[in-house]
Structure formats: C-alpha cells, structure tokens
Amino acid sequence: MSEETDVRTGAGDSEDALSDAQAAIDEARRRVAEAPAEVVVVNHVMGLYELAAIHLSADQPDLPAAALAIDAVACLVEGLGDRLGTEAGTMRDALANIRMAFVEIKGRTASAST
C-alpha cells in the first residue's frame, strides 16, 4: 500500500466518523424536539439542583458555587411556576430542601471556623 493510499483511507475514516457524529447529533436534536418543553426544563432544573448538592456535600463545601446553582434553580422554579407542568410542586419542594441544606451547611461551616 502506498503512502498516498494510506492518507486517503485515513481521510475516509475521518469523514465516516464525522458523518456518524452528525447523525448522532441530529438524532439527539430530534428526541429533544419531540419531548415536551417542560420536561426538558425540569431536567435542567434537576441538573442545577444536583450541581448545588455536589458543591454542598464536598469535604469543604463551596458555598458560593452552591449559592449560584441554587439561585439558578430559584430563577427557573419561581419564575416559571406552574408552567413547569405536573412537576412544578416537586420542583418547589426541591428548591426549599436545597435552600435548607445550604443554610444548615453554611451554619456548620461558620461555627467550625470560629
């Protein structure tokens, strides 16, 4: 096999990989477009909730990072309210719980440093 053939074969593999990646992206977009918007938004809210929980549960909690994630959850949950659909109440409860956890951990962190 010549060097020229090797280059062309590699280019074909690269084009196939790019084509496969584009097909996967197109399929993901199709699935998101078919999902109700409130389901997608609630999934994002839960991702932000998990982000806050991760920062709060670290060996050394990152309170500013957790606060940012909690504020983002609040913006969505309080701002959208019942537009979140059947999960609106669950999202309000989750927001209240993560806020209480933040206050508790912030209190423990403050008392441990004094």
Confidence of residue 12 (pLDDT cuts 50, 70, 90): confident
CA dihedral 94, 100, 102, 107 (to 10 degrees): -170
pLDDT tens digit sequence for 70-100 = 999 999 999 999 999 999 999 999 999 999 9
Confidence of residue 4 (pLDDT cuts 50, 70, 90): low
Here the tokens at position 82 are: 């019942």
Give the integer Cα–Cα distance in Å for 46 and 50.
6
Hey, what long-range contacts does 25-30 have (CB within 8 A, 24 or more apart)?
none
pTM: 0.78
Return the HEC string of 52-82.
HHHHHCCCCCCHHHHHHHHHHHHHHHHHHHH
